[in-house]
Amino acid sequence: MKDAFGAPQSLLVLGGTSEIGLATARRLIARRTRTVRLAAALPALTAAADSLRALGADVRTVPFDALDTASHEERLGKVFAEGDVDMVLLAFGVLGDQARDESDPVAAVRVAQTNYTGAVSAGLVCAGALQAQGHGSLVVLSSVAGERARRANFIYGSSKAGLDAFAQGLGTRCTARACTSWSYGPGSCARR
């Protein structure tokens, strides 16, 4: 549960090697978050986990692949089975290489699947788990690139626009069902 000051005591970071995800975790640890679960590809998580442990947090790593949506329910379900999660920070995504991706549809689809399909799957699993435990927040990080398509990154931007629409709809659904508080977007939009 959140402490008396409203700070989460436990945090799950989906995209556990994301710079913004780790910066947020460090800030929350400074405000008394004590349990952190970092979910990403395991080999890359060791240094991230060690850096948060040095700040005094109990940190565990969780194997997570945004593209392996069939594994999301099982892997994320195990995290929630270990104990309550006060905040889920969905912070994964890939930028891709716009010039290459325009001429390689398979690479373009990988960007869209990671940023949108993977986030939809993980977001729904976590929202359901938060609802079942009766409390918690789901924070979805997106990008200003989702606000307006730009020539330089329209594949990435379109995937983030889809993520924004999904997060808004999920937040509305959760608010209507009183399941959790939620936030979405690049920091400009938040509802509690």
Residues designated catalytic: 156
Largest CA distance in the chain: 53
Encoded tokens for 50: 């060690």
Encoded tokens for 2: 């959140």
Encoded tokens for 138: 């789901």
Residues 6+ apart with CB under 8 A from 30: 55
- Number of Cβ atoms within 10 Å of the Cβ of 155: 22
Q: What angle do CA 78, 80, 84 make, to 5 degrees?
A: 150
Contact 45, 64 (CB under 8 A): no
